[in-house]
Amino acid sequence: MNDKSHTKWYANSDQMLGKTIGTFIKHHRTAQQLTQSELANKANISRSTLSLLERGETVTLSTLLQVLRVLNLLHIMEVFTINKTISPIALAKAEQKERQRVRAKTKNQNKKDSEW
């Protein structure tokens, strides 16, 4: 992805972003040949709430998740996954701390230490 694609999202208002989500939901609903009533019933929400979502109006996050679940689109939640990475410097320091070699045991190491 280039920087221009990110700029597009930041330049949009919240209302435009909501409409984009609504268009996305409507596209996938119609692609699966579901009416608003059918999808709303399966998602356990009212048809008017689904209509609000498709128009980009304010709905709860729970409502959006219910609709995504019914449309089998929860995989888009992958973008919210946090992949922890280690910096190259931290990795180099960790590798330095790793044991580099093992010494052979000497005869003296097998003896008990004096209690003196």
- State which H helix or E strand residue 47 sits in: helix 47-55
Work out how many domains the chain is built from and give that number.
1
Q: What is the pLDDT of residues 54-82, one digit of tens each?
A: 999 999 999 999 999 999 999 999 988 88
CATH number at residue 69: 1.10.260.40
Q: How far apart are CA 29 and CA 71, in angstroms?
A: 7
Question: Is residue 67 domain-resident?
Answer: yes
Tokens 């209302």: give the residue. 15
pLDDT class of 111 with cuts at 50, 70, 90: low
Question: Is residue 8 domain-resident?
Answer: yes
Question: Is residue 45 domain-resident?
Answer: yes
Residue ranges making up the domain that contains 75 = 3-79
Question: Is residue 89 domain-resident?
Answer: no
Average pLDDT over the chain reads 86
Q: What is the pLDDT of residues 8-63, one digit of tens each?
A: 888 889 899 999 999 999 999 999 999 999 999 999 999 999 999 999 999 999 99
Give the pLDDT confidence score for residue 110 in this predicted structure: 58
Question: Is residue 56 domain-resident?
Answer: yes
Closest CA to 25 of 36, 14, 41, 16: 36
pLDDT class of 1 with cuts at 50, 70, 90: very low
Question: Is residue 71 domain-resident?
Answer: yes
Question: Is residue 109 domain-resident?
Answer: no
